[in-house]
Amino acid sequence: MKKLFVILFIGFNLYSYGQNKISGTILNTKNEPLIGVEVYIEKLKKGTSTNELGYFELKNVPNATLKVTAHYIGYKTQVKTVSFTKPDIELNFLLKEMAYQMDEVVISTPFNKLQSENAIKVVSLKLNEIENGGSTNLTEAISSIPGIDMIAKGTGVAKPVIRGLSGTNVLMLNNGIKMENFQFSENHPFIVDEFGVDHIEVIKGPASLLYGSDAVGGVINVIRERPALENEITGDFNTQYHSNTDGITLNAGVKGNSNQINWGIRTGYKSHADYEDGNGNYIPNTRFQEKSLKANIGLRKSFGIFNLYYDFNRPQLGMSVGNVKTLEKSRNLDFWYQDLTSHLISSRNTLFFNDYKFDVNLSYQLNNRKLQTDNNTPAFEMVDMDLNTFAYEVKTHFPSTEKTEYIIGLQGSNKTNRNNEAPNHVIPDTDVNDISVFGLLQHSFAEKLKTQVGLRYDYRIISSEKETNKPAIDNDYGNISGSIGATYPLTDDFLVRANLASAYRTPNIAELTQNGYHGARFEIGNPDLDTQRSYEGDLSFHYHSKYIMLDVSGFYNRINDYIYIAPTGENLDNGDIIYQYSQTDSKLYGGELIVNITPIEWLNINTTYSYLIGKEDSGNYLPYIPHNKFRFDVKLQKEKIGLLHSPYFKIGGLLAQDQDNPSIYETETDGYFLINAGVGTELKIGKEMVNISIQANNILNETYIDHLSTLKGMNYNNIGRNIVATIKIPISVK
């Protein structure tokens, strides 16, 4: 393999292309130059900005067909495609004013189109929204998106829910890499944080066509921060304090970019004590802490782009379970906590060959999960498991025309779970092998109607060793996923999007084999589980004008053989309830509404509503279906007031309706109403713009329990008032 790589590397160097240049000017509709417009080529991870004349220049560009994006706050984003017929290309932009930034370039779809050109709707959450939202973890920040919720065990352990589906129905990507870290349980969070993130993209609904089995509910893609602009070295230092948990968050990073090489490094730290509810009672053992390190290096050559990334995360998460009684609020982790370690090494590369592009991506994940329990309780023993995953992906982008683009790809992975010396094996030693092929076509009819169709075949082999209380598994699964969708602008301001998709999910090893205590619950797997199949239709309408934006989405998701865990009605000798995995035909349906109004330049009013019903064919309701929720925010922001740059004040609220449709294994949950507020600004200190903000969540200190809280059974309330102070200091080194 090493020799082959060297031969290919030398071969591509011998077949090198001339270096090209793209330059031009960017003006507004009054023919005035725009200063500081970001000009970026996503495929190359390469960008610059315009000078005082609106001029930009990108050198050392490979001889390939590329998409160049011009982005400027307050203006509509534009994307232009360039193909080199000569070494120097002049590319000019005329940007139109636009209050709403809905038309960003989407990274999570293969063609990197603007949002308005995608048949699959993708919702984006930007870094400043995450930083200024006052969340204690990344999943909590994502749950501000309509249709997204979280199953949480306090403030440290949280799993995303997309339109009622969670666990291995939802895929989490870290910079395009599928996360593999024992995500089969609501108590096992995805090991990824918000440090060094540019933005997050969410696909709601079946996305198995793009990412394979386990994406029947949707995909959350955490997009890494962009490299520094050419010939720059920049850095930043960020700190945050949470009043409720005495929480401290720190992260700092530096990155640089020359003509051919870009690099970056970032480190982070979190530490939170037990949180307090609205009554002032602390919730025992909800403390947590985390350390992280990220590094990357990239090389741009005329024949290709090569990037190497490393991510390290070490979260230690307190587990609030019924038999844990701590005497005082603390951040010390002594017992009943998860000790998790994650290493992710990935190589993401693009090779150019005339009008063809080849994406060649490799990754290796090393995950260790330990559970330190109460040693005085013989029924529970420490857990110590390793999960190692090697994954590969090759995608071929064929020569495209103005109307047609198409891709074929090959993906695969090998996962090995091994138990170490700890006696408690939650799941047995297991090997999982995946391989898949797929194709995707996007075509425009009559310029306006953009269609997308794709087909995928996946094959999976699961094999595990027999244990005293667990059967051996030797199963193989093969199935097809497909989707077809279209977008059509009825007018320049009114867009219609529709999509039909069918995806499937194989049962995971925990669902097939478990037979014993998992955390504080006794769980039994089912080796006879069938493949779960989803059929979903989505329809959305988007309208925007100078003063208003309206977005309405509806969906219906039919799931055959839906896999879930529920009480059996039987008990162990000690009285503990026995839970077992089962299947049933089910359906989930609902939608989301977004209304954004800007009646005057400095005032913005945003409201959202999400509605969801999940039912079995028998008429019973499904478990873990969130409250229907209404959110509103009113934000006042000026460009400048005295020494304050972009100062803002916002106030908003969350109204969760009564969840009076519980499953037969749940109880009803009362609704609740939370009020939040925030203030922030930028201050120019020297040459840098320092960002300062204060966010107050649950200002009225409401006492409530969310329906998806796994602490509900112990009558532990959710977090009370939390005031979060954030300071972000940028540093320009060169």
Which letter does DSSP use for residue 213 in this model?
T
- Regarding whether 417 and 277 lie in a shared domain, the answer is yes
- Regarding whether 546 and 432 lie in a shared domain, the answer is yes
Q: How confident is the model at residue 168 (pLDDT cuts 50, 70, 90)?
A: confident
For the chain, report the end-to-end CA distance as a whole number of angstroms. 40
Residue 635 phi, psi dihedral angles, 5° rounding? -125, 130
Q: How confident is the model at residue 230 (pLDDT cuts 50, 70, 90)?
A: confident
Q: How confident is the model at residue 530 (pLDDT cuts 50, 70, 90)?
A: very high
Which pLDDT score, from 0 to 100, does residue 380 have?
Answer: 45
Question: Bridge-partner residues for 695, per DSSP?
Answer: 678, 724
Angle at 189 between CA 295 and CA 349, to 5 degrees: 35
Task: Please state the domain count of the chain.
Answer: 2
Task: Give the integer Cα–Cα distance in Å for 575 and 578.
Answer: 9
| 184 lies in some domain | no
> Which of 251, 255, 254 has the alpha carbon at shortest distance from 268?
251
User: 10 Å Cβ neighbour count for 634?
Assistant: 16
Which pLDDT score, from 0 to 100, does residue 133 have?
Answer: 86
In what side-by-side order are the strands of the sheet with 46-49? Answer: 46-49, 38-41, 66-71, 78-82
Is it the case that residue 175 has pLDDT exceeding 60? yes
3-state secondary structure of 425: coil
* Of 363 and 564, more confident: 363
Q: Which own/partner pairs from 708-714 qualify as long-range (CB within 8 Å, at least 24 positions apart)?
A: 708/149, 708/150, 708/151, 708/152, 708/161, 708/624, 708/626, 709/151, 709/152, 709/153, 710/151, 710/152, 710/153, 710/186, 710/187, 711/153, 711/154, 711/283, 711/320, 712/669, 714/320, 714/322
Q: What is the DSSP string of 619-642?
A: SPBPSSPPPPEEEEEEEEE-SEET
| Domain end call among 98, 116, 146 | 98
Which pLDDT score, from 0 to 100, does residue 375 have?
Answer: 57
Which pLDDT score, from 0 to 100, does residue 2 have?
Answer: 42
Q: Per-residue pLDDT averaged across 163-184, rounded? A: 89
Length of the chain: 734
pLDDT in tens, 483-493: 999 999 998 88
Task: Give the integer Cα–Cα distance in Å for 206 and 214.
Answer: 9
E-strand ranges in 177-260 read 177-178, 197-204, 218-224, 232-242, 247-257
Which pLDDT score, from 0 to 100, does residue 10 have?
Answer: 39
> Which of 707, 718, 714 has the alpha carbon at shortest distance from 323?
714
3-state secondary structure of 543: strand
Which pLDDT score, from 0 to 100, does residue 107 have?
Answer: 72
Q: How confident is the model at residue 561 (pLDDT cuts 50, 70, 90)?
A: very high
- Backbone angle region of 610, left / alpha / beta, with phi > 0 → left and psi within -120 to 50 → alpha: beta
> Which of 506, 553, 219, 183 has the alpha carbon at shortest distance from 369?
183
- Regarding whether 521 and 631 lie in a shared domain, the answer is yes
Cα distances (Å, whole numbers) of residue 493 to 101, 245, 461, 544, 702: 13, 45, 48, 5, 41
Q: How many CA atoms lie within 13 A of 343 on its CB side?
A: 8
| 352 lies in some domain | yes
Share above pLDDT 70 across residues of the chain, in percent, rounded to a whole number: 93
User: 10 Å Cβ neighbour count for 279?
Assistant: 9
Is it the case that residue 698 has pLDDT exceeding 80? yes
* Of 657 and 12, more confident: 657
Q: Are strands 66-71 and 177-178 parallel, antiparallel or unpaired?
A: unpaired
Which pLDDT score, from 0 to 100, does residue 573 have?
Answer: 79
Task: Give the integer Cα–Cα distance in Å for 472 and 514.
Answer: 11
Q: Which residues contact 406 (CB under 8 A, 6 or more apart)?
A: 398, 400, 439, 440, 441, 442
Is it the case that residue 511 has pLDDT exceeding 80? yes
Which letter does DSSP use for residue 44 in this model?
G
- Regarding whether 217 and 89 lie in a shared domain, the answer is no
Which of the listed ranges 14-18, 66-70, 107-111, 556-560 does the model predict with the highest average pLDDT?
556-560
Which pLDDT score, from 0 to 100, does residue 12 have?
Answer: 40
pLDDT in tens, 280-334: 999 999 999 999 999 999 998 878 889 999 999 999 999 887 666 666 888 988 8
Is it the case that residue 102 has pLDDT exceeding 60? no
Numbers of helices and strands, H then E, in the chain: 5, 40
Task: Give the integer Cα–Cα distance in Å for 559 and 632.
Answer: 32
- Regarding whether 521 and 646 lie in a shared domain, the answer is yes
Task: Give the integer Cα–Cα distance in Å for 537 and 427.
Answer: 35
- Regarding whether 214 and 77 lie in a shared domain, the answer is no
Q: How confident is the model at residue 4 (pLDDT cuts 50, 70, 90)?
A: very low
Is it the case that residue 73 has pLDDT exceeding 80? no
Question: Bridge-partner residues for 623, per DSSP?
Answer: none
CB 374 within 8 A of CB 324: yes
Which letter does DSSP use for residue 575 in this model?
S
The CATH number that applies at residue 624 is 2.40.170.20
| 468 lies in some domain | yes
Question: Bridge-partner residues for 709, per DSSP?
Answer: 152
| 189 lies in some domain | no
Which of the listed ranges 177-186, 635-644, 648-657, 679-688 does the model predict with the highest average pLDDT?
648-657
| Domain end call among 83, 98, 113 | 98
- Regarding whether 437 and 296 lie in a shared domain, the answer is yes
For the chain, give the mean pLDDT. Answer: 87
Which pLDDT score, from 0 to 100, does residue 122 have?
Answer: 83
Chain position carrying tokens 């934000």:
635
Share above pLDDT 90 across residues of the chain, in percent, rounded to a whole number: 51
Q: Which residues contact 316 (CB under 8 A, 6 or more apart)?
A: 288, 289, 290, 333, 337, 338, 339, 340
Q: Which amino acid is at 561?
A: D
Q: What is the DSSP string of 638-691?
A: -SEETTEEEEEEEEEEEEEPPB----TTS--B--EEEEEEEEEEEEEETTEEEE
Task: Give the integer Cα–Cα distance in Å for 724 and 385.
Answer: 36
The CATH number that applies at residue 58 is 2.60.40.1120
Which pLDDT score, from 0 to 100, does residue 323 have?
Answer: 65
Q: What is the DSSP string of 152-192?
A: EETTTEEEEEETTB-GGGEEEEETTEEP-S-TTSTTS----
* Of 303 and 461, more confident: 461
Q: How confident is the model at residue 147 (pLDDT cuts 50, 70, 90)?
A: very high
| Domain end call among 98, 114, 148 | 98
pLDDT in tens, 665-692: 889 999 999 999 999 999 988 888 999 9
Is it the case that residue 92 has pLDDT exceeding 80? yes
Which pLDDT score, from 0 to 100, does residue 19 have?
Answer: 67
Which pLDDT score, from 0 to 100, does residue 386 have?
Answer: 94
* SS3 letters across 7-22: HHHHHHHHCCCCCEEE
Q: Per-residue pLDDT averaged across 209-227, rounded? A: 85
Q: How confident is the model at residue 3 (pLDDT cuts 50, 70, 90)?
A: very low
- Regarding whether 542 and 426 lie in a shared domain, the answer is yes
Least confidently predicted of 117-126, 311-320, 413-422, 483-492 = 117-126
CB 496 within 8 A of CB 485: no
| 123 lies in some domain | no
| 59 lies in some domain | yes
Q: How confident is the model at residue 359 (pLDDT cuts 50, 70, 90)?
A: very high
Task: Give the integer Cα–Cα distance in Å for 476 and 480.
Answer: 14
Domain with 45, as residue range(s), is: 1-98
* Of 579 and 669, more confident: 669
Is it the case that residue 15 has pLDDT exceeding 50? no
| 10 lies in some domain | yes
User: 10 Å Cβ neighbour count for 667?
Assistant: 10
| 158 lies in some domain | no
Question: Bridge-partner residues for 459, per DSSP?
Answer: 435, 478
3-state secondary structure of 231: coil
Which pLDDT score, from 0 to 100, does residue 374 have?
Answer: 67
User: 10 Å Cβ neighbour count for 187?
Assistant: 20
Q: What are the structure tokens assigned to 6, written together?
A: 């060297």
* SS3 letters across 300-353: EECCEEEEEEEEEEEEEEECCCCCCCCCCCCCCCCCCEEEEEEEEEEEEEEEEE
Q: How many CA atoms lie within 13 A of 635 on its CB side?
A: 21
Is it the case that residue 68 has pLDDT exceeding 70? yes
Q: How confident is the model at residue 36 (pLDDT cuts 50, 70, 90)?
A: confident
